[in-house]
A = this chain, B = another copy of it.
Amino acid sequence: MNRRDFFGASAALTLGAAVAPTSSAFATQTTEETDKRAEAKLRICSQLGPAPGNSLEEKLEKAKKYGCDAIEYGGECIGKGAELRKKAEDAGLEVSVICWGSHGGDLCSEDVSKRQPGIDDLKRALETAGELHANGVIYVPAFNGQTKLTNQEIRQLLMEFMPDLAKFARDCNTNIILEPLCRMEAYFLRQVADGASIARDVLRAAGIDSGIGVMGDFYHMDTEETSQMGAFISAGSLLKHVHLAGGVEQPRRTFPGENSMTFVDGFRGLKYIGYNKFMSFECGCAGRDKEEAFKNSIQFLRDQWAEA
């Protein structure tokens, strides 16, 4: 490839919308979505833990003050959708997602009797997400040690109960969001492309086009992915959420910018797919002044986004 061809190729890469090929029935999500991809936006959010402040109200106020557009609630919000949406709105924030978790791995337990209660509780979380106008409920099939099922058995089981759950989520105007984790926390579902393929298969099985997706967490991705950009492009329009944290290098999993990990490669992928949903802090703080670290990290992320 000579210099001219190089630019020619990149122009095509950029202008995918203009040259998007005919998709086959099994074409990729990304290709199918190329025509309609949105304009990418950096919309920062925070979980309550990393947000500075000593009360919910103070955390919401400071998140807004330093540039967040949304807040991410944890499982404590279930059943309090209207109340907590109002609190966020009063602070000028949206609610991004509910960080729910695995429910002890019950939905994918080898103990069949545990599964339905887990499914029922996930439905309650999805209902609350709908009330919060949140984009989804983060779901982890199983942390290490929570199930005796093998990867193959877990995937098969997900394909059994997820299509109905995804329809339920869609009817709540929200999504189940599969979260890939690093091997230290979960062996099943470690890469974004794997989560995307599960979500795609569930959507096909259910005959719907929303209700389940995948997320990427920069901390976990630092261990499991060979390319942050490739991972996000693999997710494409199935990417519903992003968690922000530095990588495994010390100081580990702290505010972006507190260790040397770069976000530029991943942000290029997010720009390419037109990502306009939220990116939320899920991290610790290496510095002594959390408020200063929070503020600095948002500026760092804006600089990285501009560079991407």
Contacts and interface: CB of A to CB of B under 8 A. Distances in A.
Interface of A: 1-2, 5-7, 9-16, 19-31, 34, 39-41, 150-152, 187, 191-194, 196-197, 200, 222-236, 238, 247-249, 259-262, 264-265, 268-269, 271-272, 274, 304, 307-308
A193 B230 contact: yes
A230 B234 contact: yes
A232 B230 CA distance: 7
Given A196-B226, A225-B197, A28 B264 contact: no
Contacts of A224: 197
A26 B226 contact: no
Secondary structure of the A contact surface, majority rule: helix
Which 4 A-B residue pairings sit nearest by Cβ, starting from the closest?
A: A230-B234, A10-B14, A230-B233, A1-B39
Contacts of A200: 226
A271 B194 CA distance: 23
A251 B34 CA distance: 26
Contact of A238 (B21, B28, B191, B226): B226
A54 to B, nearest CB: 33
Nearest to A16: B268
A252 to B, nearest CB: 10
A110 to B, nearest CB: 13
B39 A2 contact: yes
Given A13-B10, A19-B307, A262-B31, A236 B247 contact: no
B28 A228 contact: yes
Contacts of A225: 28, 193, 197, 234
Nearest to A27: B262
Contacts of A6: 39
A14 B14 CA distance: 8
A180 to B, nearest CB: 11
A307 B12 contact: yes
A187 B11 CA distance: 37
A40 B7 CA distance: 12
Q: Which of A40, A223, A226, A304 has the most chain B CB within a 10 Å cutoff?
A: A226
Nearest to A259: B24
A308 B9 contact: yes
A208 to B, nearest CB: 16
B265 A21 contact: yes
A16 B266 CA distance: 12
Contacts of A193: 191-194, 225-227, 230-231, 234
B262 A26 contact: no
Contact of A234 (B15, B187, B223, B231): B231
Contacts of A249: 24-26
A25 B261 CA distance: 9
Contact of A265 (B11, B15, B31): B31
